[in-house]
Amino acid sequence: MKYLAEIEEEKEKESQLIDVYKEGRYKKASYSYLFIDIVSYSFLPNEKAWYVITRLTSTLSYIKRKHKDIVTEFPTGDGVVLCFNNEHTAFNFAVLLLIIVKRSCIRIRVGLHNGPGCIYSDINGKENIAGNAINNTQRIMDTGDENHLLVSKSFHDSIINFEEIRKEYTFTPTEIIDKKNKRIEVYYVYNDDVGNPSKPEKPSPQVEEERAKKYEEELEKHINKVFKENIEARRMFTIPPSR
């Protein structure tokens, strides 16, 4: 039989995996999930999409250096998921991210949720996470629009007792319907500096495409403005050659 050796080798791996599963010898716990998605990303031309995802990745790397409580993270194509050990760190991370990217002309929406999950190694040998909680985080985030910071009821109940958070942010409850027509109670969070005070309502594909065209123009203006500022800054600090 062709590939018999390969089949037997994979059969042995499956046997070992089942032993691990039955004995519960895998990394599992309750985590806090931060799901980030770039708004209108799929409508952007390749070069703009490259700039936006690269800028977001750079910002995430910067913020990660200030937060050591991250369990794992992985890209989602037009965004990223981060897994934390506690809700407080996840919330502060999301707030700082929204503030920074807003000034960089990057449009994102964010979802926060908590619940059980299992860590596993993906095809590239990097840690990933499985479980319904992370799927629910994506469903919550998917219903948002630009600058929305959406949190599940369980996440809200976990952080609302922190006085500095309760006093600084408004948590408005609402009910959303996800892609599976399931009703979910969430809170949209905002203050003068972060979040979107409008009730979450994802725009239609037609509206999103029209907005994406305007966004592309705004993005081009922002890039040109920063580029011009960089040139002027280099001129100011360039030492003229001696005669």
For 132-172, write each residue's pLDDT tens digit: 999 899 999 988 899 999 999 999 999 999 999 999 999 99
- The reply to whether 242 falls in a domain is no
- The reply to whether 57 falls in a domain is yes
Q: What is the CATH number of the domain that holds 197?
A: 3.30.70.1230
Number of domains in the chain: 1
- Confidence bin at 57 (pLDDT 50/70/90): very high
- The reply to whether 19 falls in a domain is no
Angle at 217 between CA 194 and CA 57, to 5 degrees: 50
- The reply to whether 17 falls in a domain is no
In terms of C-beta density within 10 A (0-12 exposed, 13-18 middle, 19 or more buried), how is residue 183 classed? exposed
Region 198-204 average pLDDT = 84
- The reply to whether 112 falls in a domain is yes
Of 24-28, 145-149, 150-154, 230-234, the poorest mean pLDDT is in 24-28
- The reply to whether 93 falls in a domain is yes
Provide the whole-model pTM. 0.85
**Burial letters for 19-55: b for 16+ Cβ neighbours within 10 Å, e otherwise?**
eeeeeeeeeeeebbbbbbbbbbbebbeeebbebbbeb
In terms of C-beta density within 10 A (0-12 exposed, 13-18 middle, 19 or more buried), how is residue 125 classed? exposed
Tokens of 7: 């089949």
Region 196-213 average pLDDT = 85
Q: What is the pLDDT of residue 233?
A: 80
Q: Is the pLDDT of residue 38 over 80?
A: yes
Q: Is the pLDDT of residue 37 over 90?
A: yes
Q: Is the pLDDT of residue 240 over 90?
A: no
d(CA 134, CA 83): 9
- The reply to whether 10 falls in a domain is no
Q: What is the pLDDT of residue 185?
A: 92
What is the phi-psi region of residue 123: left when phi exceeds 0, alpha when psi lies from -120 to 50, beta otherwise? alpha
d(CA 241, CA 175): 66
Region 22-38 average pLDDT = 87
Helix (H) / strand (E) containing 60: helix 46-64
- The reply to whether 222 falls in a domain is no
Region 39-48 average pLDDT = 89
Question: Which residue range(s) make up the domain with 177?
Answer: 26-202
User: Cα separations (Å) of 108 from 161, 208, 209?
Assistant: 27, 13, 15
For 78-129, write each residue's pLDDT tens digit: 889 999 999 999 999 999 999 999 888 899 999 999 999 988 888 788 888 8
